[in-house]
Structure 1
Amino acid sequence: MIKRPQSGETEEDILRMQNEFLSQRAKNPKLQPAAQFVKVPKETKKSLFVRSRQKASENNANDNAEQTRKSATSVPTVKQEILGEIQEKIVGNLDTSNVEKFSEIVLGDIVEKKFDAPMLNDDMEVEENIGFPTIKLTTLEKSTKAGKSIFASGGLSKNQSMRSQVPAPSEDLSKMYGNESVIVSNSAIAAEVHKQNLDVLSKMSRDDILEEREKLLNSIDPTLLELLKKRRQDKSNQALPSSTISTIINTKPSEKFEKQEPMDVSSVITPSNAAYDILQQSEAENWVHFDVVETDKLKWMRDIGESTTNVKPGEQFEARFDWKGVLLPYSVENKSEVIPAPAKDDRELYLHGDEPHRPGYTLQELFRLARSNIMQQRISAFGAIGGILSIYNQGFYDGVLELPISKIFFLLRLGLDDNTPAVLEVVTRALAFLFYNEADETLLDFIFENPGCHWQPSLESADMSTDFKDLNALENLQKQMQQLQMHEESNRSMFRSDFEEHENESKTSMSDFQLAETNLIECLLRTNILQRIYFILSAVKPENSTVTSCLKLLIRLARTNKEIAGKIVANNELIQCLFAHFLPDLTHTEANLSTAQFYYQPQFLCLKLVRILITQNLGIAVRLMNMQLSDILINYLSFRCDIKDAMIKVQIECLRIVRCLLLLRIDDSLYSRLDSAFYNMLQWHCNYLKFELGGPYLLRQHASALLMAISSEPCNAKSNHMLSEMLNKCCSAWIYRATRSDVGEFSQTTLLSVCLHVVNWHIQRDEHRYFNEFITKYLRDFLLSASFRKCVNQLITSSVILRKSGDRRYVHTPLPNVGAVLLHEDGPQLIIPQAYSLFLLNTLWSHIELQISRSHDEAHKPLLDALMTPPIAETFVQYLTLLSNNLNHFLCSNFYTKIEVQFVYKLLGCSELLQHFNSSQILQLVYNYLCCLGAEHILEIEQLFERIIFNTQYLNVSESALSKWKEVFISLAQSHYIVVEPSNLSLTKSSHTSAILTRDWPYFFFKIILQNFLDNAPQKITVDFSERDILEMTLTLVTELEDSSSNLKIVTPTEELMYAMTAFMGPESEFLNEEIRPLLRKHLLRFYDKYQNYTFDLDKAVIGKCKFESLYSLFVDHFQATSYGDELFGSLILVPMAQKYDSKWRRRMWSDYAPALCYLNCDESLLINGLGAYFEPAEQDESLIKAYALILNTNEVRVGTIPYKIAKYHLEHFKKTSKN
């Protein structure tokens, strides 16, 4: 016997058993397995015609002819055959013979169960007239019992309906309704009427009775019904039990016997819903599974509730966004009365679990969808996040919500690893929205054609862009006093007092998230983004906007600094991929220029990337030139076919690159190779360019780029007479059109500014003969025209440095931007408006200055006279007047305001304009202007120091003293000179330069005194200057500046008090010198008289300076150590002890610094507001009264001193009030 397989045996054991069985069967052929499959032979299928003849013959031979005839008459033979055929098609051919054969083989004997009486299934309705059941409409009612299946519920409902249809016996009706009629009062016919009613009721089912009863109750007048009920109660003495009567008469039938009415769907869905018409169809309640409207399952279809509770003003709530990234309000207002029914369906914004009444999705929900397995959900989520970042970079979310930029970055970077083109498109677009600031890039491109705007900003983070080894004295002071430092979180300083050495090296030990919170660009590079972009562009090759987004990411990386730009250029595979795919030769792609493609078509963004790389460093530019860049530029600029907007942008970028290459003096032969292309493009613009409003701005921008590229050639290069004549023709034509029409669009003023720059370039080349007519006729007519007056009138309204708002440069410190968006109270605004004529005015003033310096026949006078006409000169005077009081020093450091800052210097150099101001106004204006100049304006600072600040015409000081002071401050400014090696030449400037001279620059050397005090050692400064010289220079300079200009405020009163205290903290104690004491006394008396009724804010934190409380502690300690009871020193200590200030200052002085009181005394004339300020109001602090008593009892203060008088007065006053 073969062993059966066990549960623990493996497949090898089964195979072994099989081999044993086969070996035994080979020895014994009769050995059979315990079970085997048997295939039942299928009988040959006969057609319907053959089987019908066979059936007919069998029916004729049947002994029971009568039964067969009855069946034949009820159901025709043909119909029986058809129904049989249908049955066979459904369940198969179950012939008796086959069944018997099958039963003999597979099944055992079938034993039929015996019953004494036939079983009748009440639930089944059988029609014996036909063989196949008829199709009926099945009504399935909702089961009232849990756990019942649909079939069981149907059977239960049928049993109940069959029981309800059984007529009630007549004796039961007599018990229920009585033996006589209650309604009919005539006794003769009452019994007969009552009997007839009972007969009718006996033939009706219970449901019919209840239905008729409902009809009667609904049709009878309620008053009549109440009358009948009352009569029945009065006349009925022998009636049914009260419980039965009340159940049948006084109450409505039970719900289980009442026919269930279909629910009114209008309470669930509105008529505008798509399902409303379907549910209103006839017999809709009889549909299978839909006989009852299940509200909980239809909630997702109903309209969103519009009456939601609104949040209170100032209350925070979680932000929700739509699929475009727009921040949605807390709730949607009801607009159903205004918007028609087929309005936009926004139910897709409500498909979330949390806060179902609010539209939109939170960032957490978008993050979950972005990691979904369904691609469409990922695409929608990434698209929404990209929209959020786009709106965020425009400034619309500032002050409204704070976005987790670092977390969003990591999510997008993970999504970038997906190779699906559709996902790549939305992810790269979102990353481009995060890093590539569209507002910045658009403005930088628009202003690039203006003279002096070829400089590009470097967008380094603050902690990387500063060389902390060259900090000035102010930053060193902050580092020494870091425990006293006050910082403002919203405006972080570029310099940190807690800077650690080798911080850049520590970045390698940072985690990814820490680096993202410090420098997002470095974190992006750490994720190997360059190699990923190369793989996408070279392997995936998506034919969509992914190419554009990748190029934008590379542009933002290249703008950071020259190190990152060098990494991009050093990636040979990436650079070759860009040149091969996006900078092809046009001779092979001319036929496809009309089609919108990405690959093997010139991409202007790729050329822009090349331009940004060139501006970063001279070495990078040389490396790109070695890749045949000049041939590509000549190929694109020589293209002569009918070009579209895309090719115009390509040529604009090519002209910008040519301008940068010529400024860097890389390829001397490039200009001569482009002569013919320049001439052809100039000729086209001269014939077809439409200067007036309504013309394409892109063509005006193309013409501006062309002229700037031409005028970038070195002035000593060989001239081209044909090109110069064509330039004169173009400039004359455009300036003539500007005279006759309005100049209100930015590209128009740019083109006019470029024309003037071309004229200046020819004057520098001594070729002004080509433009004599232009200067004497066309330019002068333009300056006298109404269109130019409109341009000048826009100066004040469009000025950037006169605005009161700030920009968004440091809205996210790890990812700075240039600051193209202003945070205005009415919403974000571009920093440069459309009507911005300052570039034109600056170039015009440069032209006049050039004419003055080179002209011998005074050809500049007609132009200057035209500028000095009363309407124009009045505008300039008003502009300068506003600058003296409303100059925004923060915006002066913005990259876009560099030209306006230069223009103000040109106006200050115009003696004709300064005649409209007095010396006090000029001094105030120049002082405010000096406080906004950076390291690139050192020459301007030197000139203004010499002409105005240290000029005897404005200050009442000897010329020798002013000359000495001027040299000191000029040497201080010259320490910020930027020295660039020839190998590191670039066209890049920092986007966040700060001013050299702060608002309190005359007090600068007082900061040095304080630093010497902290270091306890003299510190070497820029020049040899003693402490005595510092005190004399600073006090005299500050006094003369404020006396010469009454409106000039160097520092706040509290800061001035702190600087006065600093004057006594020098290590050499020069305040004791008899030659310095009169100057100190004069300064203090002037200070006390100036702020006699002023209350100093001693608790206010001053940004960038130490707190008054900390400085006061150092000051009192220094008084005990070195003052020798000096009354000038002591008068400053007594300032916070006045009664109008907080009692904490007095408690500290009379307890912590009580030993210093014995030395403290001064003349009453040196007390601010006199001695009465220390008496009234009377002291109420009991701890101070006890301190006064203790000091007086121990004789720790001298009799007759100021502290003695103060303590004695308050103690006696307290005793008087206590007695009373």
Structure 2
Amino acid sequence: MLKVSDLWPALCYLLQWHYQHLIFDESGPFIIRQHAVALLALIGPGLQRDAVCSRGDASSFGEKLFACCSKWFTAAERNGANEFSQKILLAGCLWMVGRARTAVGMEAYRTLRAKYLAPFVRSSRFREIIQTISSSSLLLTHFEDRSQYGIESLPTLGAVQVRRNQTVPTLIVTSSYPVFLLHALLHLTGQKKEELEEVDTRLREDIFGSASPHRSYLEAVCRRTRNAEQQQSLIGNWFVQTIEQRYLLDVLEFGLVDSPALESEKSAVRSCRLQLAFFLTFSLSEAFYPALVKLFDDTIFKLDYYGCRAAELAVTGADMQRWKFNYKLLTQRAIQNEVNLAPARAGLTAAEWKTPLLRRTWPYSPLYLLVEKLEKGPAHRLEQLTETAIIGSGLRFSELLERAGGMAIASPTERLMYLMAAFLGPDSKFLEPDLSALIERRLAELRTFAGKEAGQRKEVFEFETAKMENRKSYYGLYQLALDTFQSSSYGHGGFGCLLMVPLAQRYDVRWRNMVWSEYVAVLRFITCGERELFGELEEYLEPAETDIVLLRSYGQALNSNLLRPGSIPHRVANHHVQAYRSKVKVMPEQEQQQDNGSSSSSSR
């Protein structure tokens, strides 16, 4: 069987040719540098694989490799590495060194590290290279829809994109993109702490420490978790998936955010790791399912990362294990291709990368099962999850993430919809004391948030555009809730206050017309008080209603005794009817009768 070592004479000749003829400076041919990268990619694994049987030959051949690396890192330290192929070549050297250091010998590696690598990463040239990590990031850069420029999408992997304020498409990976180089440095210095030498530890701190632009980059990624608004990033792009998201997975794997310099920084470090892990959970496609499971096991459902917040919310390790099981079931349910369930897959094919496996709102997603159960029957429900488990997982775990990590998992309208879904279960488990208290607590949080937003004159809820799980519109869910409320609300105040939200005067009159004309019987069972409303009672009373059809519905409901005296719906209807009477001195019904009488007289 042919071994890589059998090819060493030819490879050695090619390597010697590159040592003599490759021009590392930007003025040199980039195609030659790319060829050298391909050569290194071939040699590195071969050295590692043949290390045991050919230690002597590998060592002598490794010396030539290290000589090339020394020459090119010296050139990079002197003149920089601004061109993309220069960075790729340096990264290829580092990957090769990491694979070959056992075969070549640690002494040769230490020499290379001390004389060439350390001076380079501590130089101003290296600082210039990594300074652009945030501005050139594939995750943080704003990309615009190419269709608005009349350029039809090509059947590619997304290599060509349009950036903000550009009209000409450019390559998604710019010449200043440093992640390839940083990824190689991370692997070279990223073993377990007990395996690192002191020099490696210092080198790692110089590259990735708190004073490095890399820290600012991680913080910028974390900020993406604190705003629930849609960001214009290419989460489903093949290059983003295979380059930058893999890099962030390794950042977490090698513990770059787990080493606070001061005791006081521990809480911030925990939050940073939690936010990074959460960001990746709604960014990865199903091709990364094994990595997603590892994020669940190592970070998301690990109680240590939630600090005192877990104790405040009475969350235990048993709770976390139970929730992890529930969410793994939901994740497996979302997978379209069973091939992706395998922990390890041979080959270079990615089965799916365009669509994230989980939505950003996945901590709330169990509650959507109650909607599916109501609409489609028990065949569409995960039988392993009871109604109690669904409500507990969806509301308690999301609460823990939001409080401990400071993350915005869902928009206010989405949170409102998920809370509404908690009341749609077939067994009315929301009446149980523990779950009722949990729902009331989550309602109070949303009520407080909505009050602050309204105080800043911001529109809190977007009923026209919001969709639950990108499938169920607010209109459809609201109708389901109205139907369920009439049959099984048992006068629950929290359920009633959710139904009252779109009936405030600031929202489209069609919501009020729908309820007061088609679901007026529901209003008799609404028992919530003023303090339970989203906003002040004044928001339901002012400005005075002017829609004649709605005013007639108010009058009919009052005259038919369909409303409980003193209830919020009764007070709202009575206020608007009285306001209309004081304005025009006649009720809409009387006005219609007068119009009919006039018509009859005219016909005679």
Give yes or no for contact 1:851–1:859 (8 Å, CA) kept in 2. no
- The match for 2:599 is none
- The match for 1:860 is 200
Closer/same/farther in 2, CA of residues 773 and 808 from structure 1, 3 Å limit: farther
Give yes or no for contact 1:893–1:993 (8 Å, CA) kept in 2. yes
CA distance in 2, matches of 1:869, 1:1157: 60
Asked if 1:789 is matched to 2:112, the reply is: no
> How far has the Cα of 1:1064 moved from its partner?
0.6
Partner SS, residue 46 of structure 2: coil
Closer/same/farther in 2, CA of residues 808 and 848 from structure 1, 3 Å limit: farther
Kindly tell me the number of residue pairs found equivalent between the two proteins.
548
- The match for 1:451 is none
Asked if 1:1058 is matched to 2:417, the reply is: yes
| 1:1086 corresponds to which of 440, 445, 448 | 445
Report the residue type matching 1:891 in the other structure.
L
CA distance in 2, matches of 1:1070, 1:1058: 18
| 1:941 corresponds to which of 276, 292, 315 | 292
Query: What is the aligned-residue identity percentage?
Result: 30
Report the residue type matching 2:13 in the other structure.
N
> How far has the Cα of 1:1037 moved from its partner?
1.8
> How far has the Cα of 1:819 moved from its partner?
0.7
- With 796-805 and 1000-1009 compared, the bigger mean Cα shift is at 796-805
> How far has the Cα of 1:1012 moved from its partner?
1.0
After superposition, the C-alpha distances for 1:572-600 in whole angstroms (9 at most, x for unaligned) are xxxxxxxxxxxxxxxxxxxxxxxxxxxxx
Partner SS, residue 161 of structure 2: strand
Closer/same/farther in 2, CA of residues 690 and 1075 from structure 1, 3 Å limit: closer
CA distance in 2, matches of 1:707, 1:1057: 55
- The match for 1:932 is 283
> How far has the Cα of 1:1185 moved from its partner?
2.2
> How far has the Cα of 1:901 moved from its partner?
1.6
Report the residue type matching 2:171 in the other structure.
L
- The match for 1:731 is 69
| 1:895 corresponds to which of 229, 238, 254 | 238
> How far has the Cα of 1:890 moved from its partner?
4.2
- The match for 1:1040 is 400
Closer/same/farther in 2, CA of residues 1183 and 970 from structure 1, 3 Å limit: closer
Partner SS, residue 350 of structure 2: strand
- The match for 2:538 is 1172
Partner SS, residue 158 of structure 2: coil
Give yes or no for contact 1:932–1:997 (8 Å, CA) kept in 2. yes
After superposition, the C-alpha distances for 1:24-49 in whole angstroms (9 at most, x for unaligned) are xxxxxxxxxxxxxxxxxxxxxxxxxx
- Following superposition of structure 1 onto structure 2, how do residues 673-692 of structure 1 map, counting pairs within 5 Å? 673-692=6-25
- Following superposition of structure 1 onto structure 2, how do residues 68-107 of structure 1 map, counting pairs within 5 Å? none
- With 677-686 and 1198-1207 compared, the bigger mean Cα shift is at 1198-1207
CA distance in 1, matches of 2:319, 2:540: 41
Partner SS, residue 36 of structure 2: helix
TM-score normalised by the chain length of structure 1: 0.42
After superposition, the C-alpha distances for 1:1187-1211 in whole angstroms (9 at most, x for unaligned) are 2222222222222222222222222
| 1:1025 corresponds to which of 385, 398, 421 | 385
CA distance in 2, matches of 1:1024, 1:980: 19
Report the residue type matching 1:1029 in the other structure.
A
- The match for 1:910 is 256
| 2:365 corresponds to which of 1004, 1015, 1039 | 1004
Give yes or no for contact 1:806–1:891 (8 Å, CA) kept in 2. no
- Following superposition of structure 1 onto structure 2, how do residues 609-1008 of structure 1 map, counting pairs within 5 Å? 668-669=1-2, 671-713=4-46, 715-717=48-50, 718-719=53-54, 720-721=57-58, 722-763=60-101, 765=103, 767-806=105-144, 816-824=155-163, 825-827=165-167, 828-850=169-191, 852=193, 854=195, 857-867=197-207, 873-886=211-224, 890-897=233-240, 898-908=242-252, 909-911=255-257, 917=268, 919-950=270-301, 951-954=303-306, 955-956=309-310, 957-973=315-331, 976=335, 978=339, 985-990=346-351, 992-1008=353-369
Q: Structure 2 unaligned runs (5+)?
A: 226-230, 587-604
Report the residue type matching 1:969 in the other structure.
Y
> How far has the Cα of 1:1089 moved from its partner?
2.3
Give yes or no for contact 2:90–2:181 (8 Å, CA) kept in 1. yes
> How far has the Cα of 1:958 moved from its partner?
2.2
Give yes or no for contact 1:1140–1:1173 (8 Å, CA) kept in 2. yes
Closer/same/farther in 2, CA of residues 891 and 678 from structure 1, 3 Å limit: same
Q: Identify the structure with bigger relative contact order (alpha carbons < 8 Å, sequence gap 6+).
A: 2
> How far has the Cα of 1:866 moved from its partner?
3.1
- The match for 2:462 is 1097
Closer/same/farther in 2, CA of residues 813 and 1006 from structure 1, 3 Å limit: farther
> How far has the Cα of 1:723 moved from its partner?
2.1
Partner SS, residue 546 of structure 2: coil
Closer/same/farther in 2, CA of residues 807 and 747 from structure 1, 3 Å limit: farther
Closer/same/farther in 2, CA of residues 830 and 940 from structure 1, 3 Å limit: same
- The match for 1:50 is none
Q: Normalized per residue, which structure has more helix?
A: 2
CA distance in 1, matches of 2:538, 2:363: 34
Report the residue type matching 1:1032 in the other structure.
G
CA distance in 2, matches of 1:876, 1:1120: 56
> How far has the Cα of 1:736 moved from its partner?
2.2
The two structures, once aligned, show a CA RMSD in angstroms of: 3.1
TM-score normalised by the chain length of structure 2: 0.83
- With 1029-1038 and 766-775 compared, the bigger mean Cα shift is at 766-775
After superposition, the C-alpha distances for 1:956-1015 in whole angstroms (9 at most, x for unaligned) are 222221232233324544665745999x94322257432222110111101111111111
After superposition, the C-alpha distances for 1:385-436 in whole angstroms (9 at most, x for unaligned) are xxxxxxxxxxxxxxxxxxxxxxxxxxxxxxxxxxxxxxxxxxxxxxxxxxxx
Asked if 1:1185 is matched to 2:529, the reply is: no
> How far has the Cα of 1:820 moved from its partner?
1.1
Give yes or no for contact 1:711–1:758 (8 Å, CA) kept in 2. yes
- The match for 1:1107 is 473
- Following superposition of structure 1 onto structure 2, how do residues 199-278 of structure 1 map, counting pairs within 5 Å? none
Give yes or no for contact 2:493–2:527 (8 Å, CA) kept in 1. yes
Give yes or no for contact 1:792–1:837 (8 Å, CA) kept in 2. yes
CA distance in 2, matches of 1:799, 1:1024: 41
Give yes or no for contact 2:558–2:573 (8 Å, CA) kept in 1. yes
Partner SS, residue 505 of structure 2: coil
Closer/same/farther in 2, CA of residues 970 and 1027 from structure 1, 3 Å limit: same
- The match for 1:1151 is 517
CA distance in 1, matches of 2:102, 2:292: 26
After superposition, the C-alpha distances for 1:842-891 in whole angstroms (9 at most, x for unaligned) are 00100111485755x54522422432566xx3311211121122585741
Partner SS, residue 184 of structure 2: helix
Give yes or no for contact 1:1130–1:1162 (8 Å, CA) kept in 2. yes
- The match for 1:569 is none
Closer/same/farther in 2, CA of residues 904 and 914 from structure 1, 3 Å limit: farther
Closer/same/farther in 2, CA of residues 920 and 730 from structure 1, 3 Å limit: closer
Give yes or no for contact 1:1123–1:1129 (8 Å, CA) kept in 2. yes
Q: Structure 1 unaligned runs (5+)?
A: 1-667
> How far has the Cα of 1:1136 moved from its partner?
1.4
Report the residue type matching 1:997 in the other structure.
L
Give yes or no for contact 2:146–2:152 (8 Å, CA) kept in 1. no
CA distance in 1, matches of 2:395, 2:522: 27
CA distance in 2, matches of 1:751, 1:685: 12
| 1:1015 corresponds to which of 376, 382, 402 | 376
Report the residue type matching 1:726 in the other structure.
K
Partner SS, residue 170 of structure 2: strand
Partner SS, residue 95 of structure 2: helix
Closer/same/farther in 2, CA of residues 772 and 671 from structure 1, 3 Å limit: same
> How far has the Cα of 1:788 moved from its partner?
1.4
